[in-house]
Structure 1
Amino acid sequence: MSDRTVRLQSSPVKATKPPPNTRREMTSTHLPKGSLVPNPEFCQIFLNNHDDLEALSADAELLALALAFRDSTKTDYAMVEQLLNHMCRKIHGNYVFFLSIAPLTMLVIVENICPKVEPLAFRTNSRYTPAYHPNGIETGRPDLICALASIIAMLDLDSRKRMPWHLVLSAIEEKQASDSRAGAGQCGAYLACGNQSRPDLVGMYGLSVSPLGYQIQYSCSAGLTTSEEFDWGDVIGLLRPSKDPSITLASTDNIFRPPTWNIDVGNKIYNNCRVTFVGQPWTRMTWVVKSRGDEPKSPIMIKDTYRDARTRFKEGEMYEILHREGTVPGFAAVEREYEVEYAPGCPITVSINDCTRIKTRLIMQTCGRPLTKCKNIVDFFKGMYDILEAHRFMFSERKLLHRDISHGNIVVDAQDATGIVPFTGEKRPVYINEVLTGKARADPMARLIDMDNCANLDKSRVMAKGEDTDDKPLRYCTGTPKFISRSVTLGEILKNSEFVGMPALRPEIVEKYLQVYHDDTSEMRKFSDDDTTTHGGHLSKKLQKAYKDNNALRSAHYEHQPRHDAESVYWCIVVFVLLAKPLNNDEDNNIKGLCDIWSNIAEHEVGKIQDSRMSLLQMNYWPLCLHEDLSFIGPLMEDLSEQVGPEWALLTPAPKPLHLHEAMQRLILNHVHHWECQNLNVELDTVTPRSYPREERKQMAPGKHYPIHGQVLSGRKRANSTEREESGAKRQHRINTKALKGSTSSASVLPSLSLFPTRSDEKIPCSLELSSAMFDDSDVLEVNASARVLENSCNIDRRQPTVSELQRYADPKDLDPSWKEDTGISESLVISPKPTIRKRASNLSTANPKLPVIPEYAPGANHAKY
Structure 2
Amino acid sequence: MSNKILAKIEVSPSQLQTSSLSMEFQRVCLTEVTANVITDISTQTQELVVKVEGSTTQEQGYEHSSKLLNKIVEELKRHYGRLDGYKDENLVLFIPKPNNPLPHHPRGYLVRPDILALSKSTEKKLTKTPGWHYLRSVGEWKPGKNFSDTDIAQQREYVASAIQARPDNPSMLGVIMCPGGYMLSYGSPCGYVVTEHLAFSNIAPLVSYVHSLHVPPAAIDLADPKRTITLHTGDDPDSAPRWQITDDAYGLEDHLFDLIFIGSPFSRMTTVFAGPRTDLVVQDSYPQDSRQREAELLRELGEDPLGWVKVVEPANPTIKFKALEKMNLGSGFAHRQRHRLVLSSTGSAFEKCETISEAVGAIYDLLEGNRRAIVKRRVLHRDISPGNILIKPKPDSLPKPEDDVCFIRGVYDREPIRASLAILSDLDNGVKLTERHLSLKDIQEIDKSLSSDTLELKALTGTPMYIARGPSLGRYKPPRRAYRFELLPQLQPPDAAQRYEQAYPNDPFRKKQGKIGEYNEDLGNECRERQPHTIQLVQRPWHDAESMLLVFLIFLLRSKPKDSKPEDPASLKKLQEFYGAVRNTRIGTEVDNRDSMIRGRWDMLLHACLDHLADPISEMCVALDFDYEFLVPATGINHEVVLHEILQRHLFQIYYKLKDPEEKTFSDVQLDTSSFRPLSSRA
Into which bin does the TM-score normalised by the smaller protein fall? 0.7 to 0.9
Q: Does 1:346 align with 2:318?
A: no
Change in CA separation of 1:612 and 1:247 when aligned onto 2, cut-off 3 Å: same
Q: Does 1:508 align with 2:495?
A: yes
Give the superposition deviation at 1:443. 0.7
Map of 1:329 onto structure 2: 306
1:650-665 correspondence runs (5 A): 650-653=630-633, 656-665=639-648
Match of 2:119 among 113, 137, 148: 148
Number of residue pairs aligned between Structure 1 and Structure 2:
626
Match of 1:493 among 469, 476, 479: 476
Map of 2:237 onto structure 1: 255
**In the alignment, residue 461 of structure 2 is paired with which amino acid?**
T
**In the alignment, residue 250 of structure 1 is paired with which amino acid?**
H
8 Å Cα contact 2:114-2:140 kept in structure 1: yes
**TM-score, normalization: structure 2?**
0.79
Map of 1:122 onto structure 2: 93
Map of 1:435 onto structure 2: 411
**In the alignment, residue 198 of structure 1 is paired with which amino acid?**
R
Give the superposition deviation at 1:176. 6.9
Distance 1:203 1:283 in 2: 12
Map of 1:861 onto structure 2: none
Map of 2:671 onto structure 1: 685
Match of 1:316 among 273, 288, 295: 295
Match of 1:517 among 504, 519, 525: 504
SS at match of 1:525: helix
Map of 1:474 onto structure 2: 457
Instruction: Show structure 2 runs of 5+ residues with no match.
Output: 56-63, 437-448
Distance 1:303 1:689 in 2: 26
SS at match of 2:239: coil
SS at match of 1:138: coil
8 Å Cα contact 1:90-1:113 kept in structure 2: no
Map of 2:138 onto structure 1: 171
Map of 1:415 onto structure 2: 394
Distance 2:569 2:27 in 1: 63
Distance 2:195 2:598 in 1: 51
Map of 1:44 onto structure 2: 27
Match of 2:280 among 278, 300, 314: 300
Q: Does 1:406 align with 2:385?
A: yes
**In the alignment, residue 163 of structure 1 is paired with which amino acid?**
P
Distance 1:396 1:361 in 2: 28
Map of 1:528 onto structure 2: 513
Change in CA separation of 1:469 and 1:119 when aligned onto 2, cut-off 3 Å: closer
**In the alignment, residue 662 of structure 1 is paired with which amino acid?**
E
Map of 1:614 onto structure 2: 595
Map of 2:106 onto structure 1: 134
Give the superposition deviation at 1:46. 2.7
Map of 2:620 onto structure 1: 640
Give the superposition deviation at 1:115. 7.5
Give the superposition deviation at 1:304. 1.9
Map of 1:667 onto structure 2: 650
**In the alignment, residue 455 of structure 2 is paired with which amino acid?**
K
Q: CA offsets per residue over residues 158-183 of structure 1, 9 Å max, x none?
A: 554x3332222123556678236787
Match of 1:371 among 346, 350, 361: 350
8 Å Cα contact 2:504-2:510 kept in structure 1: yes
1:795-806 correspondence runs (5 A): none
SS at match of 1:362: strand
Q: CA offsets per residue over residues 74-127 of structure 1, 9 Å max, x none?
A: 24336514531233322442xxxxxxxxxxxxxxxxx36967895413334234
Task: Determine which structure has greater relative contact order: mean sequence separation of CA pairs < 8 Å that are 6+ residues apart, divided by chain length.
Answer: 1
Q: Does 1:393 align with 2:372?
A: yes
Distance 1:539 1:364 in 2: 43
Give the superposition deviation at 1:356. 0.7
Give the superposition deviation at 1:393. 0.6
8 Å Cα contact 2:368-2:406 kept in structure 1: yes
8 Å Cα contact 1:339-1:360 kept in structure 2: no
Change in CA separation of 1:31 and 1:151 when aligned onto 2, cut-off 3 Å: farther
Structure exhibiting the larger radius of gyration computed from Cα positions: 1
**TM-score, normalization: structure 1?**
0.64
Distance 1:340 1:68 in 2: 57
8 Å Cα contact 1:78-1:124 kept in structure 2: yes
Distance 2:654 2:97 in 1: 59
SS at match of 1:303: strand
Match of 2:537 among 558, 567, 572: 558
**In the alignment, residue 261 of structure 1 is paired with which amino acid?**
W
Q: Percent identity?
A: 22
Give the superposition deviation at 1:684. 1.9
Q: CA offsets per residue over residues 659-683 of structure 1, 9 Å max, x none?
A: 2212222233344335434444323
8 Å Cα contact 1:276-1:290 kept in structure 2: yes
Distance 2:403 2:652 in 1: 21
Distance 1:339 1:57 in 2: 47
Map of 1:206 onto structure 2: 174
Change in CA separation of 1:576 and 1:70 when aligned onto 2, cut-off 3 Å: closer
**In the alignment, residue 301 of structure 1 is paired with which amino acid?**
V
Give the superposition deviation at 1:607. 2.1
SS at match of 2:286: strand
Instruction: Show structure 1 runs of 5+ residues with no match.
Output: 1-17, 94-110, 461-465, 700-712, 715-866
SS at match of 1:248: strand
**In the alignment, residue 221 of structure 1 is paired with which amino acid?**
P
SS at match of 2:554: helix
Q: Does 1:217 align with 2:185?
A: yes
Change in CA separation of 1:587 and 1:222 when aligned onto 2, cut-off 3 Å: closer
Give the superposition deviation at 1:276. 1.9
Map of 1:739 onto structure 2: none
Change in CA separation of 1:551 and 1:338 when aligned onto 2, cut-off 3 Å: farther
More helix by share: 2
Distance 1:350 1:339 in 2: 27
Q: CA offsets per residue over residues 301-350 of structure 1, 9 Å max, x none?
A: 2222122246x77222221211x2x2223222222479999x97734456
SS at match of 1:34: helix
**In the alignment, residue 376 of structure 1 is paired with which amino acid?**
T
Q: CA offsets per residue over residues 245-281 of structure 1, 9 Å max, x none?
A: 3011115323233222111122113544222222232
Map of 1:286 onto structure 2: 270
Match of 2:659 among 676, 701, 705: 676
8 Å Cα contact 2:407-2:416 kept in structure 1: no
SS at match of 1:356: coil
Q: CA offsets per residue over residues 566-599 of structure 1, 9 Å max, x none?
A: 2222223322334444444438799959957656
Give the superposition deviation at 1:187. 4.6
SS at match of 2:285: strand
8 Å Cα contact 1:203-1:220 kept in structure 2: yes
8 Å Cα contact 2:11-2:153 kept in structure 1: no
Change in CA separation of 1:192 and 1:384 when aligned onto 2, cut-off 3 Å: closer
Q: CA offsets per residue over residues 620-671 of structure 1, 9 Å max, x none?
A: x644544455444344324322333223333335752112212222233344
